A and B are shown apart, each in its own frame.
Chain A
Amino acid sequence: MTLWTAVLIASAICVVFKALGYLIPPKVLEAPRVARIADLLTVALLAALVAVQTLGAGQSLHLDARVPALLVGAGLLLLRAPFIVVVVAAALTAAALRYVGWAT
């Protein structure tokens, strides 16, 4: 598989999902179990991505500048900072810690 193929397949699936919502009769969503799993699926995937993106390095775990950077991001989220502020502050934290050599 080339990267282009992967980009196009993933994009096509997401486009089809969006269209599906307008084709499925709304009754399906009234089933509480379906609605609940759809909501929790998003939570589980995002939480797993936070963990892997913070601690993972290929197929191993690394504690590095990403951990304090994420904590700074979490602190800002607690203070209700907007998305872009959180992301930029985390990036700057990691970049600064690496620049001064306090973390890898």
Chain B
Amino acid sequence: MKETVGDETVDVRRAWRDSIGVVVATSTYGVSFGALAVASGLGVWQTCVLSLVMFTGGSQFAFVGIIGAGGLAAAPSAIASAALLGVRNIAYGMRMSPVIGRGAPRRLSAAHFTIDESTAVSLARFTARGRTIGFWATGVGIYLGWNLSTLVGALLGDVLGDPRAYGFDAAAAAAFLALLWPRLRSRQPIAVGVAAAVVATALTPVLMPGVPVLVAALVAIVVGWGNWLGRQTPEEPS
């Protein structure tokens, strides 16, 4: 057997193994999303539509979190927050595009499965086959598991009653923190995170629920534009 073939076999095996691990882990927390969504005032079907159609965890949690805090009056902010958190999927799609290859039906379905996890598992592999398998196995696997567990969580949340008694409100905060955690690897994102949290907290008493989160997003644009506290990239004109 040639060495390159062996490398590919190992890479493909890693792709499958990583996919299965990520699918199992992610699918379990679909239960917390389903329960939180129902606790925030969404119906079981509305909750399921978010997982079936929106299908991007950060945006889904943001949407139900803001509806839970501000009710229907906060809907525009909930939509805007979900959309802004979905912006990173544009970047993921751009990175996945060459891995996915040609053909409209294939690219269109790939777009729906383009999320944090499928992109991460795929791009961690180094052969074309490993990357392809990593993407599809993770994306499709999570789609099935996430939707199933969302339904279970929503039905469970529906029968439990007062969400605060079960600490669902604290679970939502912890979920956002856990989504944020892996991104806090260097000085710039840590500074942006702290500043955004302070801005959002300070504005909560004076603005409608949901709006403080949107204003806090401006911190990212200002810091990112000027690249404050960031590493200087040589190709960037200063």
Q: Is the CB of A17 within 8 A of B166?
A: no
Give residues 13-59 of A contacting B (CB, 8 Å).
13-15, 17-22, 24, 26, 28-29, 32-33, 35-59
Instruction: Enumerate chain A residues within 8 angstroms of B46, measured Cβ to Cβ.
Output: 3-4, 7
Q: Which chain A positions have C-beta within 8 A of B72?
A: 1-3, 6
Chain B contact residues: helix, strand, loop or mixed = helix
Among B176-222, those with CB < 8 Å from A are 176-181, 183-184, 188-189, 192-201, 204-209, 212-213, 216-221
Chain A nearest CB from B139 CB (Å) reads 11
Q: Does the CB pair B54–A47 fall under 8 Å?
A: no
Q: Which of A45-89 contact B (CB under 8 A)?
A: 45-61, 65-66, 69-70, 73-74, 77, 82-84, 86-89
Which size bracket describes the interface of B in this complex? 35 or more
**Contact B197 A47, beta carbon cutoff 8 Å:** yes
Which one, B42, B69, B177, B217, contacts A45 given CB within 8 A?
B217
Q: How far is the CA of A86 from the CA of B25 in the complex (A)?
A: 12
Question: Would you list which residues of chain B between 218 and 238 have a CB under 8 Å from chain A?
Answer: 218-221, 223-225, 227, 230, 233, 235-236
Q: Which A residues form the contact surface with B (CB < 8 A)?
A: 1-15, 17-22, 24, 26, 28-29, 32-33, 35-61, 65-66, 69-70, 73-74, 77, 82-84, 86-96, 98-99
Apart from the given pairs A50-B197, A84-B32, 5 other A-B contacts in the complex at a CB distance below 8 Å:
A14-B55, A17-B83, A22-B100, A48-B217, A99-B165
